């Protein structure tokens, strides 16, 4: 029996792994959006830290830090 040289990799799907955030829409202050994302990732990081998953917590803290820096850059 012949097998195909090209095999399907289930992890290389074109679909995103998690849903993308909804766009803020016209007239929305991007600083508010960045602040909302900062709060979101900070909450997720704290929840993971309390659950004992230090790796996931650090990942979320890094995401939160990105939005913190973005807010800082836009304020100055």
pLDDT digit string, tens, across residues 19-72: 545 555 565 555 568 999 999 999 999 999 999 999 999 999 999 999 999 999
pLDDT (0 to 100) of residue 65:
97
Q: How many CB atoms lie within 10 A of CB 46?
A: 14
Rounded Cα–Cα distance for residues 55 and 4 (Å): 38
Q: Where are the domains of the chain?
A: 29-75
CB 67 within 8 A of CB 40: no
pTM recorded for the entire structure:
0.58
């Amino acid at each position: 029996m012949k097998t195909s040289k090209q095999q399907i990799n289930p992890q290389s799907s074109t679909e995103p792994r998690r849903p993308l955030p909804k766009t803020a829409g016209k007239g929305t202050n991007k600083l508010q959006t960045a602040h909302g994302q900062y709060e979101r990732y900070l909450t997720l990081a704290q929840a993971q830290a309390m659950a004992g998953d230090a790796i996931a917590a650090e990942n979320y803290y890094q995401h939160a830090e990105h939005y913190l820096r973005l807010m800082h850059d836009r304020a100055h």
